């Protein structure tokens, strides 16, 4: 019992730092207002590009889609929205019986779309929320970078599922900018986590592990991925986005057939193409989490087996990898444009579970190798 108390005491500083990081950055707003509200509790008269069954009462918008019926949509142009660098959009949404269409993004959504001077849709992050099924009222908010070539910014309410209704309220858009205090708070927490890493490195005895270099490289790859700014990810995927859009572009004959098509229809098709790309990127992101934590857990278990550790040791290292997952996810609070998410942690756990199953399958071979 004293051994387990000692182990808990050793990990207590990391647990305290983790709790402090999550608590502070969950309450601290890194943004401050940079201009007047561009949209706040609008009415139906403020909307444009209305499609399908859309109604409004006292600031509550209801978008209905009968079974196999016409999809519903309502746009709110933001006057002066392109004059700012960052916009925060917030809204509450309630869905009832929303059935997803052929693609997963065909559901009840709130979007922030950007268009250039030629009324061409600008690719990039644009989805605030997408809901399906039935769910009670829930609030959402997020910040979006406005592209330099944006001439028009629009908030879009959609019910693009095959049936069901979606209700929207408290829709608001506020120009924001990063607080000057954010830099100093980030430096403080980064310094504290670096001090923790220095403190724990000799205590994890990595230099004695049989697979120390592989474990270290795996851990560094996870930390690098967690701290990587979104702008790096966007720049790295720019070529892929361009290739995707070119590949999904209609052939010239079809373009001629659609010469009389309304701009709104073309914009919707562009948005749908980007939604498919974002869904693909999201899948790759989740796969990266799964693979990196599965490989880390597998390497740590294999190293412990090669070192002929006691079975109780495997429980300890498993809990340490889980703690590492929480720590690396919380480190995303310290980036300028990323936040921690429970979805990534869930994928990490799936990866660790898969690694445990694989390890148990190869354990007899490892034991035979270590005894030879």
Q: What is the pLDDT of residues 141-152, one digit of tens each?
A: 999 999 999 999
Per-residue pLDDT band at 237 (split at 50, 70, 90):
low
Q: Which pLDDT does position 242 carry in this prediction? A: 54
From the list 34, 73, 36, 39, the residue with the least C-alpha distance to 53 is 73
Overall average pLDDT of the 196-214 stretch: 81
Per-residue pLDDT band at 327 (split at 50, 70, 90):
very high
Overall average pLDDT of the 298-316 stretch: 85
Edge-to-edge strand ranges of the sheet holding 72-77: 48-51, 72-77, 152-159, 108-115, 127-131
Q: 110 pLDDT exceeds 90? A: yes
Q: 265 pLDDT exceeds 60? A: no
Q: 84 pLDDT exceeds 60? A: yes
β-pairing verdict for 127-131 and 108-115? antiparallel
Largest CA distance in the chain: 80
Q: 194 pLDDT exceeds 70? A: yes
Q: Which pLDDT does position 50 carry in this prediction? A: 93
The better pLDDT of the pair 226, 12 is held by 12
Q: 343 pLDDT exceeds 50? A: yes
Per-residue pLDDT band at 316 (split at 50, 70, 90):
confident
Tell me the pLDDT of the chain averaged across its residues. Answer: 83
Q: 246 pLDDT exceeds 80? A: no
User: What's the chain's Rg over C-alpha atoms?
Assistant: 25
Tell me if residue 251 falls in helix, strand or coil.
Answer: coil
The better pLDDT of the pair 351, 226 is held by 351
Q: With a threshold of 0.85, does the pTM exceed it?
A: no
Per-residue pLDDT band at 41 (split at 50, 70, 90):
confident
CA distances (Å), origin 204, targets 3, 10, 14, 21, 208? 16, 10, 13, 22, 9
For the chain, the structural domain boundaries read 2-29+181-371, 39-178
Q: How far apart are CA 221 and CA 10, in angstroms?
A: 25
CA atoms within 13 A on the CB side of 40: 5
Which architecture, in CATH terms, is 39-178? Sandwich (2.60)
Tell me if residue 106 falls in helix, strand or coil.
Answer: coil
The better pLDDT of the pair 263, 97 is held by 97
Q: Which pLDDT does position 90 carry in this prediction? A: 95
Overall average pLDDT of the 252-273 stretch: 48
Overall average pLDDT of the 80-86 stretch: 94
Q: 168 pLDDT exceeds 80? A: yes
SS3 letters across 35-75: CCCCEECCCHHHCEEEECEEEEECCEEEEEECCCCCCEEEE
Q: Which pLDDT does position 372 carry in this prediction? A: 58
Q: How far apart are CA 138 and CA 269, in angstroms?
A: 28
Dihedral sign (CA 188, 194, 199, 204): positive
CB neighbourhood size of 18 (10 A): 19
Cα angle: 366, vertex 294, 309; to 5 degrees: 35
Q: 157 pLDDT exceeds 90? A: yes
Q: 254 pLDDT exceeds 50? A: no
Asked if residue 95 lies in contact with residue 166, where contact means CB atoms within 8 angstroms, the answer is yes
**7-16, 42-51, 121-130, 315-324: range with highest mean pLDDT:** 42-51
From the list 97, 93, 104, the residue with the least C-alpha distance to 129 is 93
Overall average pLDDT of the 305-329 stretch: 86
Q: Which pLDDT does position 56 carry in this prediction? A: 93
For 338-342, the CB contacts below 8 A with 24+ separation are 338/229, 338/230, 339/25, 340/22
The better pLDDT of the pair 278, 343 is held by 343
From the list 340, 353, 249, 350, the residue with the least C-alpha distance to 301 is 353
């Amino acid at each position: 019992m004293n051994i387990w108390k000692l182990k808990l005491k050793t990990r207590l500083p990391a647990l305290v730092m983790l709790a402090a990081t999550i608590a502070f950055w969950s309450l601290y707003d890194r943004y401050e207002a940079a201009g007047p509200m561009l949209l706040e509790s609008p009415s139906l008269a403020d909307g444009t590009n209305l499609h399908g069954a859309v109604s409004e009462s006292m600031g509550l918008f209801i978008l209905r889609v009968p079974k196999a019926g016409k999809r519903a949509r309502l746009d709110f142009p933001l006057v002066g929205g392109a004059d700012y660098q960052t916009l925060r959009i917030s809204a509450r949404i309630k869905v009832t019986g929303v059935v997803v269409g052929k693609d997963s993004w065909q559901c009840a959504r709130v979007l922030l779309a950007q268009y250039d001077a030629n009324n061409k849709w600008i690719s990039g992050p644009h989805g605030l929320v997408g809901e399906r099924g039935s769910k009670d009222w829930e609030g959402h908010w997020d910040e979006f970078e406005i592209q330099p070539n944006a001439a028009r910014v629009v908030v879009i309410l959609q019910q693009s599922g095959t049936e069901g209704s979606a209700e929207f309220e408290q829709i608001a858009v506020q120009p924001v900018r990063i607080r000057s205090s954010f830099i100093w708070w980030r430096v403080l927490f980064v310094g504290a986590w670096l001090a923790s890493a220095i403190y724990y490195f000799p205590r994890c005895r990595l230099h004695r592990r049989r697979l120390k270099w592989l474990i270290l490289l795996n851990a560094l790859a996870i930390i690098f991925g967690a701290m990587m700014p979104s702008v790096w990810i966007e720049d790295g995927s720019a070529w892929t986005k361009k290739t995707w859009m070119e590949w999904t572009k209609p052939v010239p004959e079809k373009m001629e057939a659609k010469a009389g098509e309304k701009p709104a229809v073309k914009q919707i098709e562009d948005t749908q193409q980007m939604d498919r790309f974002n869904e693909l990127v999201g899948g790759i992101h989740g796969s990266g989490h799964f693979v990196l934590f599965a490989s880390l857990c597998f390497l740590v278990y294999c190293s412990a087996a090669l070192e002929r550790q006691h079975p109780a040791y495997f429980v300890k290292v498993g809990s340490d990898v889980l703690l590492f997952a929480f720590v690396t996810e919380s480190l995303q609070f310290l980036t300028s444009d990323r936040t921690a998410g429970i979805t990534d942690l869930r994928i990490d756990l799936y990866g660790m579970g898969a690694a445990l199953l694989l390890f148990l399958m190869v354990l007899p071979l490892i034991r035979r190798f270590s005894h030879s």
